[in-house]
Amino acid sequence: QQPVQSPQAVILREGEDAVINCSSSKALYSVHWYRQKHGEAPVFLMILLKGGEQKGHEKISASFNEKKQQSSLYLTASQLSYSGTYFCGTETVDRDDKIIFGKGTRLHILP
Amino acid sequence: GAGVSQSPSNKVTEKGKDVELRCDPISGHTALYWYRQSLGQGLEFLIYFQGNSAPDKSGLPSDRFSAERTGGSVSTLTIQRTQQEDSAVYLCASSAILWGTQETQYFGPGTRLLVL
């Protein structure tokens, strides 16, 4: 089942923080995060495994709340380069080797 | 090579024809992934390879799609009897370890397929 991302879109000024959520109705094993700029291939950000871990990538970090079946992506002190569409992909505990992606969250950073 | 390469970069074909898409992963990367992205849509995961093996092919959209990998390197995605709904950007990625949480997946530039 497709995970739900929220918000669908967000506009920030450079330096502001943002949180993007990815929620599933099924028990999750892993959550994958990617960023894609218009006309370009996606860029891999990180994979989180169940266990409630938190990871960081530059000023971008993420958490995985196993109880809520939700992952949140945190963008701190956003930079212009953070603009793009963020996709989460989820794999359920069934470990069926299928990654289902959300519809994406469009992030636009203004100078 | 320095990165993941895909060929052709663009392919226009007629409905009903077969097409073959190629992916050259980063040397030494054991894991290879195929994704699809229709115009203006999100990502769709198709299949992964661990070495030459693809344990689960159920993510492929239909039995017209097949994929193989040889020598733990090059992979080809073949679409038989193409349909207009097959039009999309087909993306390939590779990583040193399958779904490695400490390993970056590197994407190729994609093959833009248009079925007329």
B112 Cβ partners below 8 Å, 6+ apart? B9, B10, B11, B89
The confidence band for A23, taking pLDDT boundaries of 50, 70 and 90, is very high
Is B45 close to A43, i.e. CB distance below 8 A? no
> Does B25 touch chain A if contact means CB atoms closer than 8 Å?
no
Q: Does A66 score more than 90 pLDDT?
A: no
Average pLDDT, integer, range A81-102: 90
* Res B68: pLDDT: 96
B3 neighbourhood in chain A, CB within 8 Å: none
Is A97 close to B104, i.e. CB distance below 8 A? no
Q: Where are any strands of DSSP class E within chain B?
A: 5-7, 10-13, 19-24, 31-37, 43-50, 65-69, 75-79, 88-95, 106-107, 111-115
A99 neighbourhood in chain B, CB within 8 Å: 45
If you ran DSSP here, which 8-state letter would residue B58 be given?
A: T
Q: Which residue of chain B has the CA closest to A105?
A: B42
Q: Does B39 score more than 90 pLDDT?
A: no
Q: Does B74 score more than 80 pLDDT?
A: yes
* Res B40: pLDDT: 77
> Nearest C-alpha of chain B: how many angstroms from A85?
9
Classify the C-alpha dihedral B93-B95-B99-B104 as positive or negative.
negative
A25 Cβ partners below 8 Å, 6+ apart? A1, A69
Q: Does A39 score more than 60 pLDDT?
A: yes
The confidence band for A80, taking pLDDT boundaries of 50, 70 and 90, is very high
* Res B103: pLDDT: 79
Is A48 close to B101, i.e. CB distance below 8 A? yes
Q: Does A72 score more than 80 pLDDT?
A: yes
A100 neighbourhood in chain B, CB within 8 Å: 45
Average pLDDT, integer, range B96-111: 88
Please state, as a whole number, how many other Cβ atoms lie within 10 Å of the Cβ of residue A49.
16
B107 → closest Cβ in A42, A96, A103: A42
The CA distance from A44 to B33, in Å, is 12
Is A101 close to B105, i.e. CB distance below 8 A? no
Q: Does B22 score more than 70 pLDDT?
A: yes
How many CA atoms lie within 13 Å of A39's alpha carbon, on the beta-carbon side? Answer: 0
Print burial letters for B64-73: b (CB count within 10 Å at least 16), e (below 16): ebebebeebb
A42 → closest Cβ in B43, B48, B58: B43
